[in-house]
Amino acid sequence: MTDIRGHRLVTSLLGLSLLALAGCGQDDGSSQKALPPSASGSVALSPSHGGLTGGNLVLADTGEDSDGPITARFGETEVECPFDERSSRHACTAPSGGTPGTVEVSFAAGGNEVGEKTAYTYTTQGTQDIPVLTVDTETVRRNAEEIRADFPQDVQLGAVLKNGEPVDVFGKVIEDAADVDYLFVPKLDDAIALREAGVQARIAVLYAAQIEDIPLLVHYDVEVPATDPAWVDAAEQVLATTGGTLKVHLWVDTGMGREGVVPEEALPLARAVEGAAHLELAGIATHFSTITAEDAEAIERNDTANTTVAQKNRFDGAVAAIRNAGLGQDALIHAGASDVLDHGIEALYYDLLRVGGMFFSSSPPESSVYSWTTELTQVKTLPEGWCIDYGCTDPTTSPKKVGLIHHIPSRENELDYTVGGQQVPVLLDHGTVVTLDLSQVPDAAAGDEVVIDFSAEAFHMLDATAPLPVTTTGG
């Protein structure tokens, strides 16, 4: 791409993102030789955000009175935008973006800059009607640095990334800031995204792997759980054709009722893995269900009535059975998560800790990893005796002020809505239309910001299945 103006703009991405968040796309003055704004007013993009793959139509109003073609520069990428008679805008096709975040957009015609600079926000490939969720990567980076600074010396650090997009951004930031040994992810797509983003650390899928995915696992150097001996046989057959070695982890369900084999089945599974020419037993793992601050002491006393002690003993027994059979000598033993590290239960550290939530914890509002806002599209006062929702079970008993918001995905965690600093109840939730009770916010008006919060204790555990469009600030 040629730079038709012969100089580069140096507005920082962070500065620009903050401006965009504040609803202001104007240049913040840190650009060198920024041209004065056009005489005819502001620049507007419709829409002002879109998915990373680009290809969508973006109509641009440069404020100029020209119907000739213009060139739009989205970050570093230029696209030609013919004039669109129908909308009286210039019709650009958004180029693909690198990572979620806000880029500067500038326009030129015949080699001269036209209009003001503005901003376009790239998000993950979510449903663009859903309010954009913004991730503050600076907070994640700071958490990662703190975790690394306090981390026990002789224990490997595995980061667990199961709170969804943008998993590649999270992985890069955390690898960079905490020099992690491992990244653990719930699904293969996440593992591929991490490798494609250039993550060097070892990567393991947590819960299950499909046999048909084995060539991909080999290609991307991704480790997976070995489900059972039948899975091992099927995997070995495929690996005999791909060549290479697939590293697998043997999960023991010691009392969680989730991933892994029951303890008696651990040794037979280890035998199957060690007997397969193309499989390597890289890890033996379990997951605790009921970590508490009392566990360290309970372990000391071997209090078998304590759930964690029971799980630990079953795990240690399974590992000993495997090792006594001369197997799994080099396998990493891993079991503890954030709660084990948080409580400093050293007896559960083993060779590696799998730390998830701690990377995403925050003390809102100063350092929230996530910010999620939308706007009231409509505000009205319903008369007394007015039905709310189908069935009219709970009509208004006096005039009631309400506000509408839209396209809020249903989530496993309750959401809180705040308008004008006041948390407001939900009267009706149909997802595509949500009616908020604004009785306590008499000044609320259409266009006002609505802050959407996950429940406080679950704040870092975003439901990864919702197709949210997610962007980032903080670089």
Sites of contact with ligand PLP (CB under 6 A): 160, 162, 206, 287, 337-339, 354-357
Nearer to ligand PLP among residue 100 and residue 356 (C-beta): 356
Nearer to ligand PLP among residue 193 and residue 335 (C-beta): 335
Cα 287 off chain centre by: 22
CA distance 109 to 277: 64
CA distance 454 to 199: 29
Closest approach of ligand PLP to the CB of residue 338, in Å: 3
Non-local CB neighbours of 439 within 8 Å, separated by 6+ positions: 400, 401
Q: What is the DSSP letter of 278?
A: T
Nearer to ligand PLP among residue 168 and residue 339 (C-beta): 339
Question: Contact 327/271 with Cβ under 8 angstroms?
Answer: yes
Nearer to ligand PLP among residue 84 and residue 342 (C-beta): 342
Nearer to ligand PLP among residue 157 and residue 276 (C-beta): 157
Q: Which two tokens stand for residue 366?
A: 């100063």
Closest approach of ligand PLP to the CB of residue 360, in Å: 8
Nearer to ligand PLP among residue 355 and residue 405 (C-beta): 355
What stretch of H or E contains 282?
strand 279-285
Closest approach of ligand PLP to the CB of residue 357, in Å: 3
Nearer to ligand PLP among residue 307 and residue 396 (C-beta): 307
Closest approach of ligand PLP to the CB of residue 440, in Å: 35
Amino acid at 358: M
Question: Contact 261/248 with Cβ under 8 angstroms?
Answer: no
Nearer to ligand PLP among residue 95 and residue 158 (C-beta): 158
Closest approach of ligand PLP to the CB of residue 79, in Å: 41
CA distance 191 to 184: 8
Q: Which two tokens stand for residue 262?
A: 């029951």
CA distance 52 to 49: 9
| Whole-Å CA distances, 323 to 38, 270, 284, 424, 439 | 74, 10, 11, 58, 66
CA distance 417 to 30: 35
Closest approach of ligand PLP to the CB of residue 356, in Å: 3
Q: How many C-beta atoms surround the C-beta of residue 221 within 10 A? A: 14
Nearer to ligand PLP among residue 90 and residue 460 (C-beta): 460
Closest approach of ligand PLP to the CB of residue 355, in Å: 5
Closest approach of ligand PLP to the CB of residue 339, in Å: 6
CA distance 432 to 317: 52
Closest approach of ligand PLP to the CB of residue 286, in Å: 8
CA distance 334 to 38: 61
Q: How many C-beta atoms surround the C-beta of residue 297 within 10 A? A: 11
Q: Which two tokens stand for residue 463?
A: 């439901």
Closest approach of ligand PLP to the CB of residue 181, in Å: 14
Token look-up 């020099």 returns 179
Nearer to ligand PLP among residue 331 and residue 355 (C-beta): 355
Residue nearest to ligand PLP (CB): 356
Classify each residue of 465-475 as buried b or exposed e, where b means 16 or more C-beta atoms within 10 Å of its C-beta: ebebbbbbbbe
Nearer to ligand PLP among residue 105 and residue 157 (C-beta): 157
Closest approach of ligand PLP to the CB of residue 302, in Å: 24
Question: Contact 223/283 with Cβ under 8 angstroms?
Answer: yes
